[in-house]
Structure 1
Amino acid sequence: MDVYIITGSSRGLGEALAERLLLENNRVVGVSRTSNERLAELAGSVPGRFDFVPFDLGRADGHYECMAGIIDSVRMETNAGGRLTLIHNAGVLGPIAQLSLADEAELARNVQVNLTAPLLMTSAFLRLTEELRERTVRTIVNISSGAAKKPYIGWSAYCAAKAGMDMLTRCVAAEQGEGAHAARIVSIAPGVVDTAMQEQIRGTDEARFPSKPRFVELKRTGKLFSPQEAADKLIRVVRNGDWKQGDILDLRDL
């Protein structure tokens, strides 16, 4: 049974990823502030197993301990080999405002959730799984965004954090190298997915986010990916392994 650790599994793309993987008889560990009863119920009727780990990725400490508990809980599966995959999916968009008007606490939380938490969780994951390197295929998947490359008025923190995540991917790839037992890492932008984040964008005052009409039009014309579509394609890309160590990918280009 392969093991997938997914942050932000309570809704949106994270929920869709967890559901798909559970249906395929995998063990899924969901890390988020709130539980998802639907996933727990689904796990009771399929061969896969779902474990919920309550943890606020916006907090300043406790990330190593959180990951240590997870790795210890999946020890049996990892000792048997197979895949062990960490998917950094959790993310927050706000504050949506020009930087000069943005709330300081919201700015700090944005960077904490979108960049600092993946940095700390990846560090812990690599350290705690080093002993597994010869018998387990270790993979880290960072869910990025087109905003990592394109600046948006009102998204300064989000754009900066996602760009930082892409660079984190490159740095870890350089450190791990191309050896047979190296942990592999990739950054993937899933495209514009129809989630609560998109609802938040469409509900924002255009004065705070001038690009709002573009996202409203994407919804009106049915050009958003469903979470299920994005999850299916993302899992296929990760599994086929047809990507280089440290690649920065966009599902829309694949």
Structure 2
Amino acid sequence: MTGIRAIVSGHSRGLGAAIAAELLERGVPVLGLARQGNAALAVAHGGQLAEVALDLADTEALAAWLAAGGLADWLGDADEALLINNAGTLQPMGPLPLQDPAAVAHAVAINVAAPLMLAAAFAQADGIRERRVLHVSSGAARAAYAGWSVYCATKAALDQHARAVQMDATPGLRICALAPGVIDTDMQGEIRAIAPERFPMRERFVDLKRSGSLVAPEACAMHLVDFMLDADFGRSPVADLRDLMQ
């Protein structure tokens, strides 16, 4: 796929690693942004994978990297570009009196500020004919869950951002906030390990694991990339991958 370049946040593990691998296997060069690199991907794909060590919860560090032209330099002479805002955190989980204010700020930084900052810088890069932005959202953006007030609020922010950006009708820019379904990642393990008083629906997620109902990250990534490269991408600013797979 000559002329296409992609940026994936949180590419070091889980769904982000699977998305980066899927793109690389299709011949799309990937810039991965995460605190840690992905050694397996680097070995498998060599010069097709570039990595930048960034704590996406550090808004000042991200702003400095963007101001220095790191994202624009990677896009270079790409004709088409993809931005997948995948990095995120579930914490803090629990009712409001149990939430550490510093953890709330951390969640807003990584779940909201980082993807919105990356999207703005991505839209400003010169010389790209077509840009596509995908926010990895969640069903929790559209339905409230006890214990997940911060996670629900931050994912809902991505949905609203996608809706408003679509209304801007910027030429050559498409966007979608996509709920990927329930995926078998470390985040699911984090949910199953939480105390019930912090997340009353914990047993539902334990049952999903026990029954084999969780989707493999690789399968989700394949369908997600198919969707992102499809001609209909961005027609709706908010979507659910499970609906698209039916």
- 1:120 aligns to 2:110 (yes or no): no
1:94 is the counterpart of 2:91: yes
Aligned partner letter, 2:85: H
Gaps of 5+ in 1: none
What is the identity, as a one-letter code, of the residue corresponding to 2:5? V
CA offsets per residue over residues 178-216 of structure 1, 9 Å max, x none? xxx421111111000000000000001111110001101
The one-letter code sitting in structure 2 at the alignment partner of 1:202 is R
* Corresponding residue number in structure 2 for 1:6: 8
* TM-score normalised over the length of structure 1: 0.90
Q: Per-residue deviation at 1:175?
A: 1.4
* 1:18-33 matched pairs, under 5 angstroms: 18-33=20-35
Q: Report the Cα distance in structure 2 between the residues aligned to 1:244 and 1:51, rounded to whole angstroms.
A: 27
1:232 maps to which of 175, 199, 222: 222
Q: Specify the SS of the correspondent of 2:60.
A: coil
Q: Equivalences for 1:38-117 in 2 at 5 Å?
A: 38-44=40-46, 49-67=48-66, 68-76=69-77, 78=78, 81=79, 83-117=80-114
Q: Check conservation: 1:64, 1:124, Cα contact below 8 A.
A: no
**Contact 2:29–2:49 (8 Å) recurs in 1:** yes
What percentage of residue pairs aligned between the two structures are identical? 39
Q: 1:21 to 1:244 in 2, by over 3 A?
A: closer
Aligned-residue offset at 1:70: 2.4
For the structure 1 residues 10 and 84, does the alpha-carbon distance in structure 2 shift closer, same or farther, using more than 3 Å as the test? same
Alpha carbon RMSD of aligned pairs, Å? 1.4
Residue ranges of structure 2 left out of the alignment (5+ in a row): none
Q: How many residues align?
A: 240
SS in 2 for 1:30: strand
Contact 1:139-1:185 at 8 Å conserved across structures: yes
Once superposed, which parts of structure 1, at least 4 consecutive aligned residues long, lie more than 3 Å away?
Answer: 243-246
Structure 2 counterpart of 1:228, which letter?
E
Alpha-carbon separation, structure 1, partners of 2:142 and 2:91: 18
Match of 1:132 in 2: 127
Q: TM-score, length-normalised on structure 2?
A: 0.93
Which digits, 9 at most, give the CA deviation of each residue in 1:38-92, with x for residues without a partner? 1100113xxx70000111110122434434212213314x1xx2x2000000000
**Cα offset, 1:246, TM superposition:** 4.9
Q: Give the match's secondary structure for 2:59.
A: coil
Supply the distance in 1 between the matched residues of 2:168 and 2:43 (Cα, whole angstroms): 40
Separation (CA, whole Å) in 2 of partners of 1:141 and 1:220: 30
